[in-house]
Structure 1
Amino acid sequence: MDIGRLRALRELSIRKTMAAVAEALYVSPSAVSQQIALLEDEVGIKLIERRGRGVVMTAAGQQLVERAERILQEIESARAEIAELKTVVSGEVRVAAFPSVAAALIPRVVHRLVDMHPRLTVQFDEMEPAESVAALRSWQTDVAIIDDLNIPTGALDPNIETIFLLEDVFNVMVSKHHQLSKRPTVNFKELKNERWAIDTASETYTRMLADACQAAGFKPNIVARCKGFEVTIAMIRQGYGISILPGLRASHDLEDVWVCKVVPEIRRKIFLAFRKGEKRSPALQIFIDEITRKPILS
């Protein structure tokens, strides 16, 4: 069986539509449809059923997807074993990470790796944790940096391994002219009458903020819904609103902003995730070694 066709079927089982698979594999939807049709002709049985705009696997299709999963894992394992034989680290390692951890860690790690291993290329893509896990499962990235707020413990595919990276604490950020500035800590209940500017890029973050405010006995007065850190921090600088943002953000682009700890604390754990068996790849191993070095995390 053609590996490309098996990969297309596996992607379809995950992403549910031809268009989504086409986007992931960088081909046209018609090419994906043709791959599936050829595979069905080859095995002589229907593998998918169309449901509205999407598709579902038949029993035969699901069985073949499970086989394809093992085949693709063996191919990746073979690549890792061959890579182990090389004396010079080269090739490419693909990394996906969400914005706050990416801004704090990735540039330094990439700079050091390229400096030490000039034949190695690090390809970075900014993705939210759920998106990066999907990319990991579909071989679109080699390592994903995720957190336990977006991906709860136990929610990962058993074929994915994780390594604990660090723990991050959320902080309250206000304008330097705000009444809370110069204070080292603030109780969440004191934020009841504040206006909030929030980064809506992550639904989990928005839900976390709402839950924290509810636990403190109030509903947040959200006056600015931003789609990224840049606008959110601009609103805070001008005193239009306050926000609660990851501690990893506390050393980046915070001129004219006061950062104080919040009580009770809100924490998250951050992990590296990668497919089982691929840690033997020298390129992936040196990335893991470098990003887990204490000087990098400090």
Structure 2
Amino acid sequence: MDFARLRTLRELSLRKTMAAVAEALLISPSAVSQQIAQLEDETGIELVERRGRGVRLTPAGQRLVDHAGRVICILEEAKTDLAELKTVAGELRVSAFPSIAASLIPPTIRAMSARFPDLVALFEELEPDDSLVALRAWQTDVAIVDDLTTSASLSETQVEMLHLLDDHLHVLLPRDHPLAERPHLTLPELATERWVLDTTSITYSDVIVRACRDAGFDPIINARCHSFEVVRAMVEAGCSVSINPGLRGREYIGTLRLKEIRPIITRRIFVAFRTGERRNPAIAEFVNELRNVVASMAATR
């Protein structure tokens, strides 16, 4: 069986649509469909079932994906074994979500470039769920994720997680808001406010809505935005309040007021990589440098 076709089938099991696989593999959707059809001809059995715009693997398709995953793991382990014999060089693909990427990624890449000029770190901004999909599909090598907005299990066997830091969610207020001088706030105190939500990650906005409901009210949402810049502008103009990660708030607060929520809402942030690949010198050095950046941030708080 052709290895490229096996990988395409595995991508399909992760991404669910031909279009998503095509985008990930940089080929056309028709090429994806053709590769799956050729693989079905090779095996003599139906591997996928069309369901509307998406597809679902048949039992035979899922079993073949399980075998393909083990084959790919063996090949990646061989690459890691060889990488241990080399200096830190080549390409390292990194992904992270916006609110943490702005704080951690630039200083880490700068330090890595200074220490290892032959290593090229390629960064892509991805939400945590997308990062884990990319990691499992060998589209990225290192992913920064959190436990608050990740729907997948953080204890899966294919991925190894190392805890980086904890971050607390904060209320973002206009500077002249009546509650702006309070040291901290509870969610019920904001029950009558109008809210702006950053909906770049639906999972993250759902976390906020769920927290409000747990506190006894449905938030009055008057804006849904796809960037923190618009969220900040809405709050700054006095149109809304919002909840944002503490790290992002400290970096971009400007004239606004950032107030910790009580009881504290914490998100745990992890660096993730495929199981066993910390032996790869480039990954090991990048993880160590990330930890150094986190330590320096903690020292300056």
Distance 1:57 1:193, change over 3 A: closer
Q: CA deviation at 1:215?
A: 3.0
Secondary structure of residue in 2 paired with 1:279: helix
* Matching residue of 1:60: 60
Distance 1:215 1:65, change over 3 A: closer
* Matching residue of 1:185: 184
Q: CA deviation at 1:222?
A: 1.5
Q: CA deviation at 1:10?
A: 0.9
Alignment of 1:40-55 (within 5 A): 40-55=40-55
- Structure 1 letter corresponding to 2:76: E
- Structure 2 letter corresponding to 1:85: L
Q: Which runs of 5+ in 2 are unaligned?
A: none
Distance 1:197 1:3, change over 3 A: same
Contact 1:105/1:296, CA 8 A, preserved across alignment: no
* Matching residue of 1:145: 144
Percent identity over the alignment? 50
Secondary structure of residue in 2 paired with 1:252: helix
Q: CA deviation at 1:296?
A: 4.1
TM-score by length of 2: 0.93
Q: CA deviation at 1:121?
A: 1.0
Q: CA deviation at 1:40?
A: 2.5
Q: CA deviation at 1:34?
A: 2.1
- Structure 1 letter corresponding to 2:17: T
* Matching residue of 2:199: 200
2-side partners of 1:56 and 1:219: how far apart? 36
- Structure 1 letter corresponding to 2:54: G
Q: CA deviation at 1:297?
A: 4.0
2-side partners of 1:58 and 1:231: how far apart? 44
Contact 1:16/1:56, CA 8 A, preserved across alignment: yes
* Matching residue of 1:3: 3
* Matching residue of 1:277: 276
Deviates more, 1:150-159 or 1:55-64: 150-159
* Matching residue of 1:237: 236
Q: CA deviation at 1:145?
A: 1.1
* Matching residue of 1:211: 210
Deviates more, 1:278-287 or 1:46-55: 46-55
Distance 1:41 1:187, change over 3 A: closer
Distance 1:103 1:231, change over 3 A: same
- Structure 1 letter corresponding to 2:14: I
* Matching residue of 1:71: 71
- CA shift digits 1:198-245 (9 cap, x unpaired): 211122222222222223332212122111101001111111111111
Deviates more, 1:36-45 or 1:246-255: 36-45
1:38 aligns with 2:38: yes
TM-score by length of 1: 0.93
Alignment of 1:38-187 (within 5 A): 38-86=38-86, 88-151=87-150, 154=153, 156-187=155-186
**What is the Cα-based RMSD across aligned positions, in Å?**
1.7
Q: CA deviation at 1:290?
A: 0.7
Q: Which runs of 5+ in 1 are unaligned?
A: none
Contact 1:195/1:220, CA 8 A, preserved across alignment: yes
